Amino acid sequence: MLRGRRWSAADAYLRPAMQRPNLAVRTHAQATRIEFEGRRAVGVRFQIADETYSARAAREVILAAGAINSPQLLQLSGIGDLALLDKMQISVIAPSAGVGRNLVDHYAARIAVRVRGAATLNERSHGGPLIVEALRYLFQRRGLLTMAPSNAYGFVRAVEGATRADTQLLFTPASSEVGQVVGQAKLEREPGMTCGVLQLRPYSRGHVCIVDRHPFTAPEIQPNYLADPRDSDTLLAGLRYVRKLFAAEPLASFIAAETWPGRDVGRDDELIDFARRTGSTVYHLVGTCRMGAEESLPVDTSLKVRGVEALRVIDASVMPSIISGNTYATTIMIAERGADLLMR
């Protein structure tokens, strides 16, 4: 945050460089294919509205489309699993079975409670108080509209006998109307609080793969959340940890009741079923162009795509495994390291 506004990587890195003569930014552009001469990447084909263009690379092509679109573009360009490319009738540039594999993400389930004796965001987000908050933001850059989705975090050992933190807790002084989809939910009018629970090091792995040859078709995204029993065991331990936390002082004095899922959901199988039905991504997807020293992996330790020349991937998709926390800073670090490698 800076002066009440979210400060993004574009604010910190891109905007200060916009006046450089060697930078051209094209918005509303969809990359459709990496262009090759033999096995050397020489450019990128992209589309704006109904017009198709081609950008030629002087040295290297840099792919930074993220954990979903980077493997998608590689597959569309002929780099990927042979069976998939053959099925889609795409000419093979370089076989690489790992492209699109190893998808991993943090999956969160949430417990919400009714609050007493304390103010929460719920009351400030309706009617007159919301108008006041809008004016506070407009003139002071303070208040509700400057807040992050979560305001306090905890890294805890929820599983009995754990030697390091296995669960992240995300506290928000607000609660959504019960049963609504995360991201589309409206805040309740009564005071409430929510705690999100996510396993820090999930074992489950999924995939991203194209479903046809058209770049504007969304790929198949299968994260396989909670497919590994160790993931559901840890998430269950995290949910029970939060219930114990809410039942202990000083928090217990401020909690009137659990509203989501409710205390009638108590057995292990009920809690896991609740987590499967109502949990969601926290948008930490990584790993689909995994980096490593093994020749079988799509990307090497210099971020170069194996099997071709002059092509690198520099984004969260190169992470071999997910970090034990938010992925934003790590992704920026990968970009900084990639920039350093490019300058050599």
Residue 125's pLDDT is what?
87
pTM of the predicted protein model: 0.92
Residue 124's pLDDT is what?
87
Place of tokens 């069976």: 83
**Per the residue annotation, which of 28, 126, 207, 284 is the catalytic one?**
284
pLDDT by residue for the chain (344 residues), tens only, comes to: 777 778 899 999 999 999 999 999 999 999 999 999 999 999 999 999 999 999 999 999 999 999 999 999 999 999 999 999 999 999 999 999 999 999 999 999 999 999 999 989 999 888 898 899 899 988 888 888 888 888 899 999 999 999 999 999 999 999 988 655 555 678 899 999 999 999 999 999 999 999 999 999 999 999 999 999 999 999 999 999 999 999 999 999 999 999 999 999 999 999 999 999 999 999 999 999 999 999 999 999 999 999 999 999 999 999 999 999 999 999 999 999 999 999 98
Contact at 8 Å (CB) between 307 and 92?
no
CA distances from residue 17 to 22, 228, 329 in whole angstroms, order as listed: 9, 44, 20
214 in catalytic set: no
